[in-house]
Amino acid sequence: MKKTRSVFAIIMLTIFACVWIAACKSKAKEVKTDDEYLGTSDANLLVEGMSAFELFCEAYANWLTDDGYLREETLNFSVSSRYLGHMGSRIMQTTRKKDGDKIHNFEITQGEGVTANMTSAKMYYYDGSNAYIVTTSDKKHLDFGEEKFKVAEWGEYVPFDGDVQSENAFLVRRWTVYDLSDRACLAKEHNDGVYAANGNYYFTLTIDCSKDALKKYQPQLLAEYTANMSAPEDTYSMENTRIDVAVREIDGKMKFVAWYRTESYTGKARDIMETTCNETCYNKLTYGDYSIKETELLNLA
């Protein structure tokens, strides 16, 4: 009997050790930034009399009316469960250009595990009147070998058959899924300080993601994220989200130059198994090189 119990104990310890090791690998590899001050709270850099939330609102209003910029985004995402450990991850790179009324968006995703079917690439182009799209999921044409993902061969653009107005709004009017129009959406631990370095102003928005706050201030996020997980709302919980922001005065206006978002949330996927998603997302904006190139227009050039 003692021998049987000892064997059982060893088996259970082995199982738990394997689960623990897998769980340790469950978080997505965080996106790297090239700005050491992004997210700073160094008191030596504090700017007296400035408010993080007010500066965000000013830069956001300017962003909505800006007619030219290049936006580059890298998103790292992973999903895991307590007992299965790492289940899948994906890396998505986006290059988005706004040039007057024209919009060009390139998006490429590398997925593995439960997100393997998300491996694909697409380009969307709006010429001011009409919209077009080209997609590929042919892995032999997708190059994930370098830091910047590439597509070796595309097909041809075809007319976009979706809601053009909605797609355009998503691409150039959605800064994030979070509704940040009300200061009350910020968490109690939010630091409203603004810090200056290298010609930029830095601040961090800490968003209240308690269940009550999500229902009151972030209903769109709650609906979207629970739908993506197929998780009942009452099983969903979220850590407070942090968005580190860099703003610079350009041509007399405060404009975004970078932001970095960190998210972690849990829900009972398909009402069967509790899963946790971790995500980091880095955006860079530049305002001098946003013209849409002929090579990006393919057969429309």
SS3 of 191-224: the string is: CCCCEEECCEEEEEEEECCCHHHHHHHCHHHHHH
pLDDT above 70 for 8: no
pLDDT above 70 for 15: no
Residue 205 in contact with residue 193, Cβ under 8 Å? no
The DSSP secondary-structure symbol of 46 reads: B
pLDDT above 80 for 99: yes
pLDDT above 90 for 22: no
- The least confident of 42-46, 72-76, 142-146, 165-169 is 142-146
Residues shown for the chain: 301
Residue type, position 251, single letter? D
Q: What is the pLDDT of residue 11?
A: 28
* Strands, E assignment, the chain: 68-81, 85-99, 102-113, 120-126, 131-136, 142-143, 150-151, 158-159, 195-197, 200-207, 237-238, 241-250, 253-269, 273-286
For 180-192, write each residue's pLDDT tens digit: 999 999 999 999 9
CA triplet 279, 281, 284: central angle to 5 degrees? 180
Q: How confident is the model at residue 289 (pLDDT cuts 50, 70, 90)?
A: confident
DSSP 218-278: -HHHHHHHHHHHT--GGG-EEPPEEEEEEEEEETTEEEEEEEEEEEEEEEEETTTEEEEEE
Q: What is the pLDDT of residue 31?
A: 93
Q: What is the pLDDT of residue 1?
A: 41
Residue 121 in contact with residue 108, Cβ under 8 Å? yes
Distances (CA, A) of 255 to 5, 108, 199: 66, 26, 12
Q: Which two tokens stand for residue 106?
A: 């390139």
What pTM value is reported for the model?
0.89
Q: How confident is the model at residue 72 (pLDDT cuts 50, 70, 90)?
A: very high
> In the predicted model, what is the mean pLDDT of the chain?
91
pLDDT above 70 for 12: no
For 46-56, write each residue's pLDDT tens digit: 999 999 999 99
Backbone angles phi, psi at 294, to 5 degrees: -60, -35
Q: What is the pLDDT of residue 7?
A: 30
Residue type, position 290, single letter? Y
pLDDT > 90: what percent of the chain? 87
pLDDT above 50 for 3: no
User: Which residues, in sequence order, are bridge partners of residue 203?
Assistant: 245
Alpha helices in 66-163 (DSSP H): none
Q: How many CA atoms lie within 13 A of 35 on its CB side?
A: 23
For 197-223, write each residue's pLDDT tens digit: 999 999 999 999 999 999 999 999 999
Residue type, position 230, single letter? S
For 235-266, write each residue's pLDDT tens digit: 999 999 999 999 999 999 999 999 999 999 99
pLDDT above 60 for 17: no
